[in-house]
Amino acid sequence: MNRDHLTIFFSAQLCALLCSHLGVYLNMRRQAMLVDVLSHSALPGIVVAYAVFAGYSAIGVSVGAAICAFLSVIAIEQLSSAQGRIHRDSSMAVVFTSMFALGLVMIAYFAERTHIDIQCALFGDLLFSPFWGDVNVAGFLIPAVLLRLVVVVGVVGFLLRNFHGRLIAASFWGEAATLMGISPRQMTHVLAFLCSLTVMVSFELVGVVLVIAFFSIPPAFGRLWGSSWRSMMGLASVFAMVTTTLGLWVGWVSGLNLGGTIAVAQLALFLLAFAVYKLPRPKGVARGS
C-alpha cells in the first residue's frame, strides 16, 4: 500500500460520495438520465477548450463543459415545452446525441489543433490519477487529482448548503415554491450546474458512461430502503463507500479496470438488494418506509 494506492483509494471514494450525494436529488426528481445527457453533451465544450488553450486545461474543460451543460438543459426545456408532441425523454435523446455529434464534427475539423483521444475521453482511468502530479499547498505535496476533487466537493457542498431547501421545495412542490418566490426553472439550472461540475471532475477518473452508475445506483439503493431524505442520503453514501472499496479490492487483485469493477460491484450489490427487497415478506412488516 504505497502513496499512489492511497491517492487512487481516496479519489475514488471522494468521487463516489460526491456523485451519490447529487444523485439523490436527481433520483427524487426522476431525472437519473440527466447525467447521461450532461456527460455526453459536454464534448463540444471540451473540444473548444482544447482548441482555445492549445491542450488540456482543467479550468478550460470545466468551463466549456458547464456552458454546454447549461445550453443542453435550456435546449431540452425549449424543445419539449413549445408544443405537446415532443416528450421530455425524446428531447433529451435529441439533445445529447446531437451535441455529441457536434463534438465529433469539431474534432474532425480541428483535429490537428486538439489532439483529443476520443477513446480516452470515453473511458477514463483511475489508475492514471496519481500521474497528474502533485501540487504544493503550504509546504505539503498534495496529489493534483485529490486537490481538484476537494475543490469541487467544497464548491458543491457550499452551494448545496445554500440551495438545499429551495431545491427540495422546487422539486416536490413547484407551485408552493413559485409562491415563495423560488423559480423551479432556476433550481433545475443550479442542479444541472452542480452535476456538470461533478461529471467533469469524475469522468476523467471513471469515464463518461460509468459516471452514470456512480450517480444512479447508490441513490436507487437508498430509495429502496430509506424512508426519509436523511436516511436515503446515508444509505446511498454507505453503499457508495462499500462498493467502491469492494470494487477497488477486486480490481487490484485481478488487475481489471478499476472504474469498471466499482460499477460492476454497484450493479451486483444493487441487484442483490433489489432481489431481497422483492422477497415476499411476512404480514405486518412494512417495506421501506
- Among residues 21, 3, 9, the alpha carbon closest in space to that of 229 is found at 21
Which of 213, 233, 235, 240 is the binder for other proteins (CB under 8 A)? 213
215 binds other proteins (CB under 8 A): yes
96 binds other proteins (CB under 8 A): yes
100 binds other proteins (CB under 8 A): yes
- Among residues 149, 129, 142, 107, the alpha carbon closest in space to that of 17 is found at 149
Count of residues that bind other proteins according to CB under 8 A: 66
179 binds other proteins (CB under 8 A): no
Q: Which stretch binds other proteins (CB under 8 A): 104-112, 147-155, 166-174, 234-242?
A: 104-112
204 binds other proteins (CB under 8 A): no
Q: How does strand 140-143 pair with strand 134-137? A: antiparallel
CA distance 3 to 270: 31
Q: Which three cell numbers stand for residue 18?
A: 460526491
207 binds other proteins (CB under 8 A): yes
- Among residues 206, 277, 273, the alpha carbon closest in space to that of 236 is found at 273
Q: Which stretch binds other proteins (CB under 8 A): 3-11, 106-114, 171-179, 234-242?
A: 106-114
The DSSP result for 71-120, as a single string, is HHHHHHHHHHHSSTTS-HHHHHHHHHHHHHHHHHHHHHHSHHHH---HHH
Residue 146 or 191 having the CB closest to other proteins = 191
178 binds other proteins (CB under 8 A): no
CA distance 150 to 141: 14
Query: What is the CA 31 to chain-centroid distance, rounded?
Result: 12
Which of 118, 151, 176, 180 is the binder for other proteins (CB under 8 A)? 118
Q: Could you list the residues that contact other proteins (CB under 8 A)? A: 27, 30-33, 35-36, 40, 79, 82-87, 89-90, 92-94, 96-98, 100-102, 104-105, 108-109, 111, 118-119, 122-123, 207, 209-213, 215-217, 219-220, 223-224, 254-257, 259-264, 266-267, 270-271, 274, 277-278, 288
